[in-house]
Amino acid sequence: MSWQSVIGLEIHAQLSTRSKLFSGAPTAYGAEPNTQASLVDVAMPGTLPVPNRAVLDKAIAFGLAVNATIARHSVFARKNYFYPDLPKGYQISQYELPIVANGRLAVRLDDGRTLQVEIQRAHLEEDAGKSLHDAFHAATGLDFNRAGVPLLEIVSAPVLYCAQDAVAYLRTVHTLVRWLGICDGNMAEGSFRCDANVSVRRTGDAKLGTRTEIKNVNSFRFVEKAIEYEIERQIRTLEAGEAIVQETRLYDAAAHRTLPMRSKEDADDYRYFPDPDLPPLVVTDADIDAVRATLPELPDARRRRYVEALGLPDSDATQLCADRATADYFEALLATLGDDAKLCANWLLGELTAALNDAALPIEASRVSAPALARLLVHVREGAISGKIAKDVFAAMWAGEGEADAIIAARGLTQISDAGALGAAVDAVIAQFPAQLADYRAGNEKLLQFFVGQAMKHLRGQGNPQQLNALLREKLKK
């Protein structure tokens, strides 16, 4: 018997604002427990929530980016459930009337296919607090710093059929929210996390199977492993003649398994109703136009432009558009150099990326700015220095020794292109290696690279390689 898995993701993107969804409390990560919990967050009597306008604009930006419908009228609701880190006994969320609905996001897969993922809704809600199970002996601590932090919950339709496609979609959303500047995407800190709804059914069945929810997985690799395990577990359960229980499960990465957490509620169990303390959110055409005017060129559009207008390979364009900071650095590099997109891409994805990785730095903290790197590439493009020398100069720039021009001048690294100097070096090398010369003239043309290397050594690596090759070919045959 064959089975088909069906997956839908609920992605929680913590919106990057300086204050919480319904209070003015700060939202910095890592503060001492309960030092950023306001009276609203901990549900003190007499407090009333006030919506944060910046949060609404970020939700609209996401909706526009995924070609969704932006609701002109949306409503905050109370989602009732009881958990220690939810002091009000309910969570302020959106249910029947979310701010964003019916979107679509193109996901490019490793095998070249493009998957169109339907986004059913993206709604605003407040985060809960955090239970600290390891803070005390035989007791659980509660930290309400995170309570009230604004979230955008992005809910896909169940249109994903394997763990790899689900992770590809998750990565695409991660790139998009960071690109838009609405979420920092830090999974380790919990500002970007997802719940995976997984079910299996017999191949050919139209009806979806009973789903389980894998809660709060915080890395792409663990999301993939958790989904794969849960698919296998459900198939084993069904083939053993047992039923799947609708429940919420946790993924234990150390043991590579999912474990029951609690029974999974249906919408009716949450007893949603409009929050009486919050008026409906009203969005006008002018509001939407104002947000649309601030949107950057989106990552897929920029990738296509790099391929179609700049002639870059798709692999280069995809890497450059993996995050906005990298793409913006490339734009600044190309703008300063003037042209030669491939040269810029090679250096950014090669030497610069290697240096950033070695130093564990993001590109925003690069020790070599885009204009400084562009000046080095001018020397490469004009043939003033060789590629090998350019790498040495870049290393010196990275070490803080100065700009390219000053380093090249101080070290006397300008590439030698004078025909007389190159010819003298070639003559000296030919005279130095008569045996190799005889072998070359006997037909061993692979020795050409030996002579090129020796000539470069004679010129301390500063010879123009194209001219050296031409001169050696000419003189070795005489």
Higher pLDDT, 414 or 118: 118
| Residue-level pLDDT at 281 | 95
pLDDT of residue 444 exceeding 90, the answer is no
Q: Report phi then psi at 209, rounded to 5.
A: -80, 175
Based on DSSP, count helices (H) and strands (E) in the chain, helices before strands.
16, 16
pLDDT of residue 308 exceeding 80, the answer is yes
- Report the distance separating Cα 433 and Cα 163, nearest Å: 61
Domain layout of the chain by residue ranges: 3-286, 297-411, 419-476
- Report the distance separating Cα 146 and Cα 27, nearest Å: 7
Q: Give the contacts of 91 (CB within 8 A, at least 6 positions apart).
A: 78, 79, 81, 125, 126, 128
Higher pLDDT, 163 or 449: 163
| Residue 147 DSSP class | T
Contact 249, 255 (CB under 8 A): no
Confidence tier at 243 by pLDDT (50, 70, 90)? very high
Q: Report phi then psi at 338, rounded to 5.
A: 105, -40
Q: For the chain, percent helix, then strand, then coil, each to nearest 5?
A: 40, 20, 40
Mean of per-residue pLDDT scores for the chain = 91
How many Cβ atoms are within 10 Å of 305's Cβ, its own excluded? Answer: 14
- Report the distance separating Cα 220 and Cα 193, nearest Å: 9
pLDDT of residue 298 exceeding 90, the answer is yes
Q: Which two tokens stand for residue 418?
A: 């004078």
Contact 174, 213 (CB under 8 A): no
Q: Which two tokens stand for residue 137?
A: 């002996």
pLDDT of residue 467 exceeding 90, the answer is no
Q: What is the mean pLDDT of residues 270-282?
A: 94
Q: Give the contacts of 12 (CB within 8 A, at least 6 positions apart).
A: 127, 151, 152, 153, 154, 192, 193, 194, 195
pLDDT tens digits, one per residue of 62-87: 999 999 999 999 999 999 988 888 98
pLDDT of residue 350 exceeding 70, the answer is yes
| Residue-level pLDDT at 413 | 73
- Report the distance separating Cα 107 and Cα 443, nearest Å: 54
pTM: 0.86
Higher pLDDT, 264 or 288: 288
pLDDT of residue 100 exceeding 90, the answer is yes
- Class level of CATH domain 419-476: mainly alpha
- Report the distance separating Cα 123 and Cα 97, nearest Å: 9
Q: What Å distances lie between residue 370 and 302, 363, 373, 387, 394, CA to CA?
A: 19, 10, 5, 18, 12
Nearest to 333 by CA among 371, 390, 367: 371
* Strands 212-217, 247-252: pairing kind: parallel
- Report the distance separating Cα 146 and Cα 155, nearest Å: 22
| Residue-level pLDDT at 436 | 81
pLDDT of residue 113 exceeding 70, the answer is yes
Place of tokens 């409906």: 280
pLDDT of residue 5 exceeding 80, the answer is yes
pLDDT tens digits, one per residue of 390-438: 999 999 999 999 999 999 888 877 666 657 767 777 778 788 888 887 7
- Report the distance separating Cα 93 and Cα 77, nearest Å: 5
- Report the distance separating Cα 408 and Cα 411, nearest Å: 5
Q: Where are the beta strands (DSSP E) in 128-211?
A: 130-136, 139-143, 150-156, 192-202
| Residue-level pLDDT at 442 | 77
